[in-house]
Amino acid sequence: MDRSIPFCDAADPFPKSPNFVVPAGACDTHAHVFGPQCRYDYTPNRSYTPPDAPVGSYLHLHQQLGIERGVLVQPSIYGTDNQLQLDALNHLRSLGKEYRGVAVVDADVSEAELDRLSDGGHCGVRMNLLFKGGIEWRDVAALADRMAARNWHLQFLVDVSEFEQLEERIRALPVPVVIDHMGHMSTAKGLEHPGFQALLRLLADGEAWVKLSGAYRVTTEQHPPYSDVTSFAQALVEANVEQCVWGSDWPHPHFSIPMPNDGDLLDLLARWVPDEAVRNRILVDNPARLYGF
């Protein structure tokens, strides 16, 4: 194994229950499953190596948090091999649960493979511009029309402060666009940064959705409640609450500060959005509309 590829910490195995009432039908729109490596190979061209995070642990997390729906997102370490995610979704759906997937594919992916992914519960494609092994922008033009024909969406893992012409490119796409982790921009760059302001405009105009997730990826602090993130999350909600969804980002791979507890992460949403009716739209109504629950 390549020792130059960093290993990730495991998620906290004892997730707390949140300190607010989670509504029926609440959805975690962003999580991953990993391993076992003996069955599902990692791509050699990757930025990290995670510990196993099996579907049973994922279900336990949701039971503790009171989450009834979820979206699994293909992580970069598997490249375009979506088999683990297909197997996990098949298991979850066999239990009668409402779960969807976001895949990673090549630009020349066959219609038969897209059909297989669709039949397996997928409804979007992820574009990774941060980590090795993800899809590249040049692939999007070839895929966009095909995704639109299937009523799929495109999901971006991107730092909005560092990607040139992101706003213009997103506005030109014929599919809904979802931005991971509040734009993945450090709070140290400030609310007025042009990249974040561009994200707010896209959100306000209904040109993009945003995931209120990954606070520990953008904070300058070490532990929840990551108070420097609050104004950023609230600015996104104020721009267009109808286009905001929440995600845990479990099991939290590849970041540099101490591992948070998932109950504390869900409690951040109540801190950012104290109005219960508005919060319930973010947890239930908006993801139902985006993912077709």
Residues marked active site are found at 249
Helices (H) and strands (E) in the chain, counts: 11, 8
76 vs 130: CA distance, rounded Å = 9
For residue 232 the two structure tokens come to 């950023």
Q: What contacts 165, CB < 8 A, 6 or more positions away?
A: none
80 vs 98: CA distance, rounded Å = 23
For residue 158 the two structure tokens come to 């991107």
* Positive or negative torsion for Cα 105, 110, 111, 114: negative
To 10 degrees, what angle do helices 55-65 and 83-94 make? 50
Closest CA to 69 of 29, 27, 24: 27
215 vs 233: CA distance, rounded Å = 9
